[in-house]
Amino acid sequence: MAQMTTTPPIADAPASPSGPARVNKPRRGRRSIAASIGLHTTMIVASLIAIGPIAWVLLSSFKPGYAVQSSELTLVKDPTLANYEYVLFDTNFPIWFLNSVLVAALTMLFGIFFSATTGYALSRFNFPGRRSLMMVFLVTQMFPVAILIVPIYTIMANLGLINTLPSLVIAYLTIAVPFCAWMLKGYFDSIPNSLDEAASLDGCGPFRTFWTVILPLARPAIAVTGFYTFLTAWGEVAYASAFIQDDKKFTLAYGMRQFVPQFNPQWEYLTAAAILVTIPAGIVFLFAQKHLVSGLTAGGTKG
């Protein structure tokens, strides 16, 4: 946690003209003690609401089954690691976990690559079809996944990809890439075009310029893209349940449903599994979090 308190304040958006102005500006930001208390109280309450549900699941995951399903409210009750032991050693959880890591990592890598190239082309070249492609990206967000499943299933079956992990990677890319390309386009727009021109005078082609000049400057937006694509793949249930039939190939999101039989959910195992599932997403989040604001910014301001 020390890491984020030492990071500089979030105003590192390249488009932001603030910077030094922020420092010598003593008047704004001074506030009465009462206002301070009000502000911090609100922040603390909001933070508690934000982490409360997860914290409660975390606490519950250390309780034995009978205590999880008791109406008596206790924070800690006969702490035990039995739930984790069961999930980790007596189920296929570790295999599902590896599958999920594989799918999410591949989605992230390809997602970043395709979103970045597409976003760059949208930002820098006025090619025929550019505006319609932007519209198409917006329209793809309107398709209900639940309804697309069957036609996509048919296509995957025709390609022989059913019951393989690549089918999931491809499907997740179609969800994540349009939004990410749009976001990255906004970010690239905020990087001055003169850099491209200078590189091109130095004899760089468009691909080299993109790779060696622009991409390194877009690190915050790339981090957000990585975060977004990873999460998309990590938490998706619908496609995973439709495409994968083999117990050994399930991803976590779908595999966990085995702990929820129709009538008697095994809540104690679910809590432990939920925590284990959230940890990797949390790690990716910690890497990306300091870029979240500045990375998403430019994308938002340009629309």
Chain positions 169 to 208 lying near another protein, rule: CB under 8 A, are 170-171, 173-174, 177-179, 181, 188-189, 193, 205-207
Alpha helices in the chain (DSSP H): 2-6, 20-23, 33-61, 65-68, 82-89, 93-124, 130-140, 145-158, 165-189, 193-201, 206-208, 215-217, 219-235, 238-243, 252-255, 267-302
Shortest Cβ 95–another protein spacing (Å):
18
Compose the 236-275 pattern: x for residues touching another protein by CB under 8 A, - for all others.
-xx--------------x--x---x------x--xx--x-
Residue environment code for 217-233, b if the CB has 16+ CB neighbours within 10 A, otherwise e:
bbebbbbbbbbbbbbbb
- Range 92-121, binding another protein (CB under 8 A): 114, 117-118, 120-121
CA 211 to chain centre: 24
Q: Which stretch binds another protein (CB under 8 A): 9-17, 76-84, 87-95, 211-219?
A: 9-17
Q: How many residues bind another protein (CB under 8 A)?
A: 115
- Range 212-241, binding another protein (CB under 8 A): 231, 234-235, 237-238
Compose the 129-148 pattern: x for residues touching another protein by CB under 8 A, - for all others.
xx--x--x-xxxxxxxxxxx
- Range 36-95, binding another protein (CB under 8 A): 36, 39-40, 42-43, 46-47, 49-51, 53-54, 56-57, 60, 68-73
> 131 exposed, middle or buried (CB, 10 Å; 0-12, 13-18, 19+)?
exposed
Q: How far apart are CA 227 and CA 288, in angstroms?
A: 6
